[in-house]
Structure 1
Amino acid sequence: MRASRSIDERDEDALKELIAGELGRSRDRSLGLTTEVLAAADLTAQVSPLMSPLVWDLAHIGNYEELWLLRAAAGAEPMRPEIDTLYDAFEHPRAERPSLPILPPDEARSYIATVRAKVLDTLPSVRFDTADPLTSGGFVYGMVVQHEHMHDETMLATHQLRKGAPALLDPPAAPLQASGLRAPGEATAADEVLIEAGPFQMGTSDDPWAYDNERPVHLVDLPAYYIDAEPVSNAAYLAFMEAGGYDDPRWWDPAGWEWRTAGGKRAPAFWSREGGQWLRRRFGRTEPVPPGEPVQHVCWYEADAYARWVGKRLPTEAEWEKAARWDPDAERSRRYPWGDAYEEGRANLGQRTLRPSGTGSYASGASAYGVRRLIGDVWEWTSSDFHGYPGFRPFPYREYSEVFFGPDYKVLRGGSWATHPLAVRGSFRNWDYPIRRQIFSGFRCARGVRSAGEEGGA
């Protein structure tokens, strides 16, 4: 999505043109992660019980599109109703999907292409009725585009879990952005920003493509706190490891200590130590761990333990969002840390590289407070459980958000290098189990302020 008028500023014809283009771009990405780079055997294989076979994701994308853009929005008759239950994510857990009679790769690709052709044929005749929340502002089309991009990120996690030769072309790492900041690897845990006490507007009520769990906007009053200016780096996390952080139960939540000891975990996922050097496996390539990149593939328990070890804590979801969106001078929240329109070059998003950027990159994407890289690079764990905001209403179906509310899931914010710009914004909320590590997750720390001018732990 380019830096032009925002979605809600476009007239209906221009919005439909945008939607058609974004549907095409999302599909190009999906095919580039599946049928264009892998043989049929790789597409039907399950690399982990945590993930679906890639061909399931591909056909699920098309089935979801048929359900919402043909049946719900255009009033079309079902194309293949007999496969609906096969691709219902709540009907069949990921571990059992390989045993289902799912569509083989050629048939899946043909099916999703037919769905897409019919969607583009019907798009001109669908009215974006402001009285219908499903079509107003093109919401349902934005929902489907974002859904496909989310599954593309899930597909990238599946690629990361694959063994064998690399299947994805590895673009060169993005150069350090000219910023006047320190070079990669030189940032320390002391780099933090004070967020002054006061209320801010959390969530959104006027973003036409926002999900139900981002709504409604509401006022949250926070005490002053400090938050890290950058995500925690590999170098900083390695210091925790070398200090015995994985061996000391003082730093761990009791459930996290049980998880660590039961699984023998001693490093982030995909790390290994050879000849005195830490290496990582990244999409089939083995390489030294780069010290200046944000640590990724750590679970919530690991993030929480590091934060305790360094004398801090994970930020609450509200603290993260205030640091990312609130403009204290204008007294309003922005859509992105830097402003209301997405602009290329301000964040590491969209799979342009297959890795996070180095410390000091994307300084132009800093928030009004000067906090950097809040969007892109790595999803950031927060301390908050996933719940609805005051006045939450499920829309357009309970299974997107509401069924996940509760203490079992922790909130992540900000997107990763694998997240498409259309599928993330400052109000966007992600969630997962605290043991998950295959996702592109990292974190930053926060701490409270005991009194004016006095520094202290949370």
Structure 2
Amino acid sequence: MTQDLRLAIAAELERTRARTTLLTDAVDEDDLIRQHSPLMSPLVWDLAHIGNQEELWLVRDVGGRDPVRRDIDELYDAFKHARRDRPALPLLNPAEARTYTATVRDKVLDVLDRVRFDPSRRLVDDGFAFGMIVQHEQQHDETMLATHQLRAGTPVLSAPPPPPGREITGEILIKAGKFVMGTDTEPWALDNERPAHAVDVPAFWIDAAPTTNEQYAAFIDAGGYDDPRWWSECGWAYRIRAGLEKPLHWLRDHDGWHCRRFGRVEPVHPHEPVVHVCYHEAEAYAAWAGKRLPTEAEWEKAARHDPATGRSRRYPWGDDPPEARHANLGQRHLGPAPVGAYPDGASPLGVHQLIGDVWEWVSSGFEPYPGFTAFPYREYSEVFFGGDYRVLRGGSFGTDAAACRGTFRNWDHPIRRQIFSGFRCARAA
């Protein structure tokens, strides 16, 4: 079992690094160093930060080895330097960053060969620290993918189109009752997903599919951006201040709506989930449609609760890890798939595409679960609790399966649109 775990971890580390390499080798040195948006770091910062976190946790903490580059720790501390300020730092250049991350990885693989997965040492039990680092790198890969979307210039990424969709309409009734939210058993679950706890959820309806571009365009055409009735007070104030009038990257001409996607301009696909909308836009659409956004507990119950057995599944389709037939994950495609493209990934009650395609805004703020304990450090979750953060669930086409499950919680400010964010609506029964 121990050797099987070592091999599985090594495979995940290698697979993840291949994605990082793809995202950073796709552009030239100038693009790696350039800041493509003040909302994002230069790609070369993400690359070296990935290596630095791997060194801190796996080389130094787990392995007890001497530092590789203690002198750069502060440069790549995400809490000490805002993204907009990072280009002015004395960062490693692309060649130095690649050499550094490769050196760290060699040491990590040596640590992996020798480490004892001691159940009494929580950091290494079931390979947790290695899983945490795999997820961290995949999260930065998704961030770098978002940077690619903001990048101007010749397209450098390509992928096959997603599978065709099928008509999915209407709402699904989720009956009242308790279900188990969160987890105590997922070995690589992060602290904000824990502990498992029972939640009593009143009956509600939830859309069978995410809100599509066609549906969202109807909101625009109906004057949704011009009518404060549909917006919260702070949402309307931000709409005015930011001049919001359509999803990010949408363009309108005599042929209708188009969007810019990774350097290519293409017609907006009517049946794809809408993407690059902020929480305020999602909330306004839901109000216009006579509905609301689901709470986090409602979303997770729709995604995990099996009414036949009463248990909570790892994923809507069951406990098996995601396959290509289940969900649009891992940058397999460079955009959301049309609704209905993954019938094998639907929940027992027929809710589709809860995993992959677009992160889904929910109405809940980011708060700890009852009995929460920060682990292995406060800065992963605890320092973000409260404030104006809103939770996003389910992952996107840019989220890797290693960093996505039915319990996984993402969060961001309600004004964020550069992320691969969409939504679906709900209402009380």
Shorter-chain TM-score bucket reads over 0.9
Q: Which amino acid aligns with 2:288?
A: W
Mapping 1:54-453, distance limit 5 Å: 54-169=43-158, 171-176=159-164, 181-182=166-167, 187-188=168-169, 191-344=170-323, 345-449=325-429
Distance 1:385 1:220 in 2: 16
Distance 1:145 1:276 in 2: 43
Distance 2:125 2:197 in 1: 22
Distance 1:236 1:291 in 2: 8
Deviation at 1:276, TM superposition (A): 4.5
Task: Tell me which residue corresponds to 1:455.
Answer: none
Q: In the alignment, is residue 24 of structure 1 matched against residue 3 of structure 2? A: no
**Structure 1: gaps of 5 or more residues:** 1-10, 450-458
Local SS of the residue matching 1:388 = coil
Deviation at 1:355, TM superposition (A): 0.6
Task: Tell me which residue corresponds to 1:3.
Answer: none
Is contact 1:325–1:368 with CA below 8 Å preserved after alignment? no
Superposed CA offset, 1:76-112 (max 9, x none): 1111101000000001110100000010000000000
Superposed CA offset, 1:283-303 (max 9, x none): 000011100100000000000
Is contact 2:5–2:127 with CA below 8 Å preserved after alignment? yes
Deviation at 1:272, TM superposition (A): 1.1
Local SS of the residue matching 1:314 = coil
Q: Which amino acid aligns with 2:301?
A: K
Distance 1:320 1:343 in 2: 19
Q: Which amino acid aligns with 2:271?
A: G
Local SS of the residue matching 2:6 = helix
Local SS of the residue matching 1:265 = coil
Q: Which amino acid aligns with 2:315?
A: Y
Local SS of the residue matching 1:398 = coil
Give the total of aligned pairs: 428
Of all paired residues, the percent bearing the same amino acid is: 62
Superposed CA offset, 1:405-437 (max 9, x none): 003100000000000011100000000000000
Local SS of the residue matching 1:107 = helix
Q: Which amino acid aligns with 2:182?
A: G
- The two structures have a TM-score, normalised by structure 2, of 0.99
Distance 1:351 1:79 in 2: 31
Distance 2:144 2:322 in 1: 25
Distance 1:294 1:56 in 2: 31
Local SS of the residue matching 1:382 = strand
Deviation at 1:172, TM superposition (A): 2.5
Q: Which amino acid aligns with 1:195?
A: I
Distance 2:29 2:82 in 1: 22
Deviation at 1:246, TM superposition (A): 0.2
Local SS of the residue matching 1:332 = coil
Is contact 2:293–2:363 with CA below 8 Å preserved after alignment? yes
Is contact 2:180–2:312 with CA below 8 Å preserved after alignment? yes
Local SS of the residue matching 1:62 = helix
Local SS of the residue matching 2:388 = strand
Q: Which amino acid aligns with 1:18?
A: A
Distance 2:9 2:391 in 1: 29
Is contact 2:322–2:401 with CA below 8 Å preserved after alignment? no
Distance 1:261 1:40 in 2: 38
Superposed CA offset, 1:290-331 (max 9, x none): 001000000000000000000000000000000000112111
Distance 1:82 1:175 in 2: 48
**Structure 2: gaps of 5 or more residues:** none
Q: Which amino acid aligns with 1:309?
A: W
Task: Tell me which residue corresponds to 1:452.
Answer: none
Q: Which amino acid aligns with 2:240?
A: T
Local SS of the residue matching 1:437 = coil
Q: Which amino acid aligns with 1:438?
A: Q
Distance 1:112 1:341 in 2: 32
Is contact 2:339–2:353 with CA below 8 Å preserved after alignment? no
Superposed CA offset, 1:130-179 (max 9, x none): 0111000100000000100000000000000011111112x2312226xx
Superposed CA offset, 1:34-64 (max 9, x none): 1x21111110000111000000000000000
Moved more, 240-249 or 360-369: 360-369
Distance 1:334 1:302 in 2: 31
Task: Tell me which residue corresponds to 1:456.
Answer: none
- The two structures have a TM-score, normalised by structure 1, of 0.92
